Structure 1
Amino acid sequence: MRFGLSLTAAFMVAALSPAFAQTPPNLPIPTGELPPPIVKEGKAQKISPHVWVIPDDYIPMVPNVGYVIGEKGVLVIDPGMGQRNGEIVLKEMRKLTNLTDITIVNTHFHPEHTTGDLAFPQEVKLIRAVAQQQDVDELGVQFLGIFSRMRPILAELLKDASFRKPTATFEKETVIDLGGVKVRAVRLGPGHTRGDTVFYVEGDEVLFTGDLAMRNLFPSFIAPQSSAKTWLTSLDAIDQFKAKQLVPAHGAITDGSVVGAYRDYMKALQERVATLKREGKPLPEVIAAMRTEFAGKQPQWQQAMRIEGAVTTVYNEAP
């Protein structure tokens, strides 16, 4: 059976536990008190003619925040968790441009990517994939509760938080014209979530991948709809952009090599899990074996506990 909603919530708590927070390659998982999940001020980096990024600095629950600035408008990608972070993201944007035509987008619905939306003025546009809005409608309130219970600082940041209503929605793909630069928004889920959405900055050859492709971090199959088969199709689609720079949801800006690394991992996992299932091995036994095996194969990758969710998904999809 697939994860029920309550099991998904329980696994989410584990998957996002501070003990398993993303860390730089070759560094141990942090212990003790973690830094507050606050977007850093004064850290915006220009990575291409039209794109700036505030890096997450490997702080748990902080996304890589993106700005795409054209001649007429600005696109803000993943403005952080809650009003406080959203205000910082807006303030940092004002240091880069005085343009007032602002559009917000999110790579997926999780609160550290979406609830900062509320800090922006009412006239700011929000564009969201229909499937991502479905995630918000069906799971948003539950995930606010999950996050709030994890750490007091998260409860503080998410106090009175909600999800901003979209100005416009799209099914599969839309193009956002900022004047002199266009951004393709493409919904590729379900992988990490049902509404996974990537954003390709044409000309600059920069792709914001969300959680679909990250360096040295095991992919997280966290949603009831998560599918290894669809995730592999999404990786193929990411390859087709031929982007020179990939900005993941968390961790270092990278290149297309992470796509191949994720693809190799998932295909190898599919093959091993299918073999063990045909041999009659029960799921708990397969999870234990695969966690040991693939954590050993990927010693640089963080959050090995995510292998459990991946194995469960792949096991259920295997014949």
Structure 2
Amino acid sequence: MTHDPMTNVPATGEAVPDPGAEIAGSPIPDPAVRVAGAREIAPGLLVIPDHRAGLVPNIGVIGGAEAVLVVETGIGVANAEQVLAFAAEVAKGRRLYLTTTHFHPEHAGGAQVFAGEATYLVNRAQADDLRTKGPGYLEMFRGFGGPIARRLDGVHVPTPDVVYDDGYDLDLGGRTVRLRPTGRGHTKGDQVIEVPDAGVLFTGDLAETGRFAIFPWFPPHDTDVSGVRWLSVMDRLAASAPRVVVPGHGDVGGPEILTTVRDYLRELRDETWLRRDSAMAVTEIAAEVHALLLERHPDWTGQEWITPSIHCLCAEHAA
């Protein structure tokens, strides 16, 4: 996709590349979750993969003896209804919980469907993002039109049932899942989900495969993303060396997913700050670093996020 994400900055929140833009002249793809593709990556732990579809996250269904936790909803009511029905079939009468890695509509934009059926838990910073940025994001995504707008028909910002501060250990019965806020990175309210007995980590959009990191840096509307803090988060996550990593989008894999993102963020920071130290103009820095990163990572998608990431790190250098 070649599109300037700056054109989609909402007054109430962050911007993302326009999924309503045509890709290579093709119609906008429907961001449909395909529950039939679910696969077990550890005993009692399933992932509904994104199949590399735009605005479709990897979704987790984590089972214990007494309860089942769902990670992410997909975008809109119909997707979330499929996910809920699938989770209920897996649970077979066990209690249901829901959590989301961050507030963006493709991750949390179906949580209302779970009301009364599951307990929705999130970290406090994510709850704040939902409340303050959620409405603007829903309107922005509806503005993309087509199947995205249709998916969001009737969607409203969800209200979590449980909001935690420093971390939450969820006992599913013989399996404890750790919900851990990371601090600022991709958003202010990122959290990761750890399944220690299986060695599995759900990262949300802190880590994705085969693409440039999404940097929603759009002052004055949104400056919550932090390249410096994101790199620190990835250092910690990589040091934890999980057996399996479930990224926000892209293929499930091993700990190399974390080190690849960490190394890219370090590369991005170092190349940007090297030029910033030489007093180059930001526009010159952006042009040079953009070209360099494309040359080094020619197969990655999401190149529209390179320039915002450079501007973010230039600002952080100045601070």
Instruction: Say yes or no: does 1:295 pair with 2:297.
Output: no
Deviation at 1:123, TM superposition (A): 4.5
Q: Which amino acid aligns with 1:290?
A: V
Deviation at 1:255, TM superposition (A): 1.3
Instruction: Say yes or no: does 1:67 pair with 2:40.
Output: no
Deviation at 1:227, TM superposition (A): 0.7
**C-alpha distance in structure 1 between counterparts of 2:224 and 2:14, whole Å:** 14
**C-alpha distance in structure 1 between counterparts of 2:174 and 2:256, whole Å:** 29
**Which residue of structure 2 aligns with residue 246 of structure 1?**
245
**C-alpha distance in structure 1 between counterparts of 2:55 and 2:173, whole Å:** 32
**Which residue of structure 1 aligns with residue 127 of structure 2?**
133
- Residues 241 and 50 (structure 1), Cα distance of their counterparts in 2 relative to 1, 3 Å cut: farther
> Gaps (5+ residues) in structure 2?
1-5, 217-221
Deviation at 1:82, TM superposition (A): 1.2
Q: Is the 8 A contact 1:67 1:93 kept in 2?
A: yes
**Which residue of structure 2 aligns with residue 274 of structure 1?**
273
**C-alpha distance in structure 2 between counterparts of 1:8 and 1:170, whole Å:** 29
1:75-112 CA distance string (max 9 Å, x none): 00001111111101012123323134111000110011
Deviation at 1:264, TM superposition (A): 1.7
1:22-53 CA distance string (max 9 Å, x none): xxxxxxx7640243111113221111012101
**C-alpha distance in structure 1 between counterparts of 2:274 and 2:115, whole Å:** 54
Identical aligned residues as a percent: 29
Q: Which amino acid aligns with 1:209?
A: T
The residue correspondences of 1:163-202 to structure 2 (distance < 5 A) are: 163-202=157-196
Q: Is the 8 A contact 1:82 1:118 kept in 2?
A: no
The residue correspondences of 1:249-264 to structure 2 (distance < 5 A) are: 249-264=248-263
Q: Is the 8 A contact 2:208 2:250 kept in 1?
A: yes
Q: What SS does the aligned partner of 1:47 have?
A: strand
**C-alpha distance in structure 1 between counterparts of 2:317 and 2:225, whole Å:** 14
Q: Which amino acid aligns with 1:247?
A: V
1:57-79 CA distance string (max 9 Å, x none): 11111111110010000100001
Q: Give me the TM-score of the superposition, normalised by structure 1.
A: 0.90
The residue correspondences of 1:152-171 to structure 2 (distance < 5 A) are: 152-171=146-165
**Which residue of structure 1 aligns with residue 34 of structure 2?**
40
Q: Give me the TM-score of the superposition, normalised by structure 2.
A: 0.90
**C-alpha distance in structure 2 between counterparts of 1:202 and 1:140, whole Å:** 31
**C-alpha distance in structure 2 between counterparts of 1:41 and 1:213, whole Å:** 22
**Which residue of structure 1 aligns with residue 313 of structure 2?**
314
> Gaps (5+ residues) in structure 1?
21-28
Q: What SS does the aligned partner of 2:42 have?
A: coil
Specify which of 208, 212, 223 is matched with residue 214 of structure 1: 208
Q: Which amino acid aligns with 1:113?
A: H
Deviation at 1:8, TM superposition (A): 4.3
1:221-259 CA distance string (max 9 Å, x none): 115211111101111221233211100111100111122
**Which residue of structure 2 aligns with residue 23 of structure 1?**
none
Q: Is the 8 A contact 2:50 2:56 kept in 1?
A: yes
The residue correspondences of 1:222-233 to structure 2 (distance < 5 A) are: 222=216, 223-233=222-232
Q: Which amino acid aligns with 1:287?
A: A
Aligned pair count reads: 307
Q: Which shows bigger deviation, 235-244 or 211-220?
A: 235-244
**Which residue of structure 1 aligns with residue 3 of structure 2?**
none
Q: Which amino acid aligns with 1:221?
A: F
1:129-160 CA distance string (max 9 Å, x none): 10001111111111101111113211111122
Q: What SS does the aligned partner of 1:15 have?
A: coil
Q: Is the 8 A contact 1:63 1:250 kept in 2?
A: yes
- Residues 181 and 30 (structure 1), Cα distance of their counterparts in 2 relative to 1, 3 Å cut: farther
Q: Is the 8 A contact 1:8 1:224 kept in 2?
A: no
**Which residue of structure 2 aligns with residue 265 of structure 1?**
264
- Residues 160 and 177 (structure 1), Cα distance of their counterparts in 2 relative to 1, 3 Å cut: same
